[in-house]
Amino acid sequence: MPNARFRDLLAAEWMKLWSLRSTPWAFAVGAVAALGVNLNATLADYRNYPHYSDGIKELFVPIWAMRDAFTLGGAMVFVLATGSIGALMIVGEYGTGQIRTTFAAVPARRSVVAAKTLVLAAVMLVYGVLVAGVSFAATQAVLDGRGVGMAFGDEGVARAVAASALLAPVCALAGFGFGALLRHTATTIVSLTGALLLLPALMDERNRWGATFLHVLPQGAWQRLTQVGVSPVPVDYPWTAGGAWTVYATWTAGAVAVAFAAVHRRDV
Amino acid sequence: MIEVHELTKRYGRRRRGPSRLAGPAARLAVDRLTFSVRPGRVTGFLGPNGAGKSTTLRLILGLGEPTSGTATVGGRRFRELPRGLRDVGALLDAHDVHGGRTAEAHLAALARTNGIPRRRVGEVLEEVGLAGAAERRIGGYSLGMKQRLGIAAALLGDPPVLLFDEPVNGLDPEGVLWARGLFRRLAAEGRTVFVSSHLMGEMEHTADDLVVIGRGRLIAAESGAAFAARGTRRSVTVRTVDPAASRGLADALEAEGATVRREAGASEAEGATVRAREELLRVTGTDAERVGLLAHRLGVPLAELTARASSLEEAFMELTADSVEYR
């Protein structure tokens, strides 16, 4: 059948994503908010730097400089924005009934899910690279004014930028998986926020279970990957960067697998 | 050609053992339906609300998985097709669209999934009369406009089989006429056209064949003429102005073996100040000539004597009376 080309499904999903007015707004607001939080923290450090004690100044590069590039607050905003966009890519169809129109046009549901996840992952990868790259460049440019900015070539920087960039597709696909499973907009967004943002905030890293739980969540993995230098405070339950990358990969694969299974099997 | 064989859909869990503890009762939405829909004709799909029409259409389109039985289009299960629009065009529910997109964007994305050229979008929008609203967001459309958009989407792939679920809901009278004309034209072009409705009158002038269901079961699958013939026999309506005489006439008719239903009523004669007590008799099992002769012999003055042919509507009401679920 010459008309069943997968790239047409990719093109259609691309068209569907950008033909919603909310899409560019969601991307813009997410980027501005995340960058705003990071820049705000950086400007505070820039202003206060002359008054910092020698102990802090000694550790400022790389620990504090890196934390300014990628603050936890900025990451949380970014997680919420990308996760929601990912969720809406599928919940938007279930919630409106559009999904029936979609599947009546393309009975091969797995192909639809594959096209959606690929378009989402690609767009989010570009978005993540842009936001993480701009955040790093802008914050370090400000800190350069005090002579404490870092360069991309410095140790641990490439990994931190990559981990922050990849946070976008990982969380977007997690949102997509939640959406495919739950199919209701409000339920999905609440569950997603609970799992990705609330849960890590409730975990105590000094407790074995708390640490384990935090480590298997995207936010915990991201914190591990953006960590540079030697921690100024003792870490009770240390873990490797490799482990953190595995958490990223597992969430991505798991979310996509859940989406494929849930969408293929159930009535719409 | 649509073929449905022993199609069954059960919602909820099957009861096991002592039923009180087994959770909500399973509901048979579609119960061993078997029928086929032929090309070149408009086939009406009728049944009261909740009869299982929409469920059946969803099963044909592979949107739901049948509990048992099969539904095929052109000999294949719909879900086995990689793309659907060139094989089956469907309007299931006009609301099944994302309100945030424009009609044009919605149809363009839909067309792209099936490798349908972009120019078809303009063509179908023109055909359903939405060309002027193509760049407005669907969320602001009226129900009638959404129905037209759904019909446009169904036509996109120029398919040999078309399914429409209650397509004229929300259409204005002009729109209803247009839709009927469209269905007839699509059938005349040799396509299979399957149109559901809960109103028999809707189908009377459109459908060649009928599939009638009630509570998920097949009641009839035959031509419209054959279906009407199965329904109510010919009846005679007799209106009198004298209740006593009317009673005498009714007794005499019943003595001759006819069935009489009495409906008392009152109406105001034009210009008259006195309200006449009226009696309406609905007589079956005889004919108007016989009723007239009998009235003459008994000296009963008649205000009206009408012979009525049974309509599809009556046949439908009579045959589905036992299977109406929601009154």
DSSP collapsed to 3 states, A10-46: HHHHHHHHHCCCHHHHHHHHHHHHHHHHHHHHHHHHH
Same domain? For B303 and B201 the reply is: no
- pLDDT recorded at residue B280: 83
Q: Closest to A15 (Cβ–Cβ): which among B80, B96, B112? A: B112
CA-nearest residue to A97 within chain B is: B96
Q: Which domain holds residue A228?
A: 6-265
Alpha carbons A155 and A230: distance in angstroms, whole number: 12
The alpha carbon of residue A96 and the mean position of all alpha carbons in its chain are separated, in whole angstroms, by 26
Same domain? For B260 and B223 the reply is: no
**Lowest-confidence pick of A142-151, A226-235, B73-82:** A226-235
Same domain? For B208 and B291 the reply is: no
What CATH number does the domain containing B88 carry? 3.40.50.300
Count H helices and E strands in chain B, helices first: 10, 13
Query: pLDDT tens track of chain B, all 327 residues?
Result: 999 999 999 998 655 555 444 445 678 999 999 999 999 999 999 998 889 999 999 999 999 999 999 999 999 999 999 999 999 999 999 999 999 999 999 999 999 999 999 999 999 999 999 999 999 999 999 999 999 999 999 999 999 999 999 999 999 999 999 999 999 999 999 999 999 998 877 887 889 999 999 889 999 999 988 887 765 566 788 888 777 888 888 888 888 888 888 776 555 444 444 445 667 888 887 888 888 999 999 888 888 888 776 666 767 777 777 776 665
Same domain? For B221 and B251 the reply is: no
Mean pLDDT of chain A: 95
Alpha carbons A118 and A81: distance in angstroms, whole number: 18
Same domain? For B153 and B294 the reply is: no
- Residue B17 resides in a domain: no
Same domain? For B170 and B252 the reply is: no
Alpha carbons B231 and A39: distance in angstroms, whole number: 79
CB of A97 within 8 Å of a chain B CB? The answer is yes
Alpha carbons B204 and B195: distance in angstroms, whole number: 12
Alpha carbons A241 and A222: distance in angstroms, whole number: 9
Q: Closest to B112 (Cβ–Cβ): which among A8, A92, A103? A: A8
Q: Closest to A96 (Cβ–Cβ): which among B65, B85, B97? A: B97
Residues of B contacting chain A (CB within 8 angstroms): 58, 61-65, 78-86, 88, 90, 92-93, 95-102, 105-106, 108-110, 112-116, 153
Strand ranges of the sheet holding B27-37, from the earlier edge strand across to the other edge: B27-37, B2-11, B68-73
Helix axes B288-298, B243-255, angle to 10 degrees: 120
Same domain? For B130 and B224 the reply is: yes
What average pLDDT does this structure show over A238-251?
96
Burial track A196-209 (b if 16+ CB lie within 10 A, e otherwise): bbeebeebebeeee
Are B105 and A97 an interchain contact pair (Cβ–Cβ within 8 Å)? Answer: no
Query: Which tokens belong to A76?
Result: 């949380």
Cβ atoms of B242 and B85 within 8 Å: the answer is no
Residue A23 neighbours by CB under 8 Å, 6+ apart: A17, A85
Are B79 and A107 an interchain contact pair (Cβ–Cβ within 8 Å)? Answer: yes
- Residue A196 resides in a domain: yes
Query: Which tokens belong to A224?
Result: 């591990």
Alpha carbons B319 and B220: distance in angstroms, whole number: 9
Q: Which residues of B touch A104 (CB under 8 A)?
A: 61, 63, 84, 88, 90, 92
Alpha carbons B200 and A93: distance in angstroms, whole number: 33
Query: Which tokens belong to B276?
Result: 């006449």
Are B110 and A101 an interchain contact pair (Cβ–Cβ within 8 Å)? Answer: yes
Q: Which domain holds residue B99?
A: 1-9+24-228
Q: Closest to A16 (Cβ–Cβ): which among B65, B99, B109? A: B109
Burial class (CB in 10 A: 0-12, 13-18, 19+), B253: buried
Q: Which residues of A touch B115 (CB under 8 A)?
A: 2-5, 8
- Residue B88 resides in a domain: yes
Same domain? For B165 and B295 the reply is: no
Are B114 and A96 an interchain contact pair (Cβ–Cβ within 8 Å)? Answer: no
**Which candidate in B95, B112, B163 is best for mutational testing of the A interface (most A CBs within 10 A)?**
B112
Q: ipTM surpassing 0.90, yes or no?
A: yes
Centre a 10 Å sphere on the Cβ of residue B173 and count the other Cβ atoms it contains.
8
Same domain? For B114 and B140 the reply is: yes
- pLDDT recorded at residue B23: 47
- φ/ψ (deg, to 5) at B35: -165, 165
Instruction: Please spell the DSSP secondary structure of A83-150, one letter per residue.
Output: HHHHHHHHHHHHHHSHHHHHHHH---HHHHHHHHHHHHHHHHHHHHHHHHHHHHHHHHHHHHTTT---
Alpha carbons B245 and B222: distance in angstroms, whole number: 43
Same domain? For B260 and B188 the reply is: no
**Lowest-confidence pick of A88-97, A112-121, A191-200, B21-30:** B21-30
Domain count, chain A: 1
- Residue B60 resides in a domain: yes
- pLDDT recorded at residue A232: 77
N-to-C CA span, chain B: 34
Instruction: Give the model's confidence band at A33: pLDDT under 50 very low, under 70 low, under 90 confident, else very high.
Output: very high
Q: Which residues of A touch B112 (CB under 8 A)?
A: 8, 11-12, 15
Q: The tokens 């977007």 sit on which residue? A: A172
Same domain? For B215 and B103 the reply is: yes
Q: Closest to B96 (Cβ–Cβ): which among A2, A92, A101? A: A101
What CATH number does the domain containing B299 carry? 3.30.70.600
Chain A closest-CA separation from residue B164 CA (Å): 13
Chain A closest-CA separation from residue B160 CA (Å): 14
Chain A closest-CA separation from residue B130 CA (Å): 19
In sequence order, what E strands does A150-230 have? Answer: none
Please give the model's pTM, rounded to 2 decimal places.
0.85
- Residue A96 resides in a domain: yes
Same domain? For B160 and B65 the reply is: yes
- Pairs of CB atoms within 8 A across A/B: 111
Smallest CA-to-CA distance from A73 within A161, A200, A191, A173 is with A200
Q: Which residues of B touch A103 (CB under 8 A)?
A: 61-63
Domain count, chain B: 2
3-state SS of chain B: helix, strand, coil percent to 5? 35, 30, 35
- Residue A1 resides in a domain: no
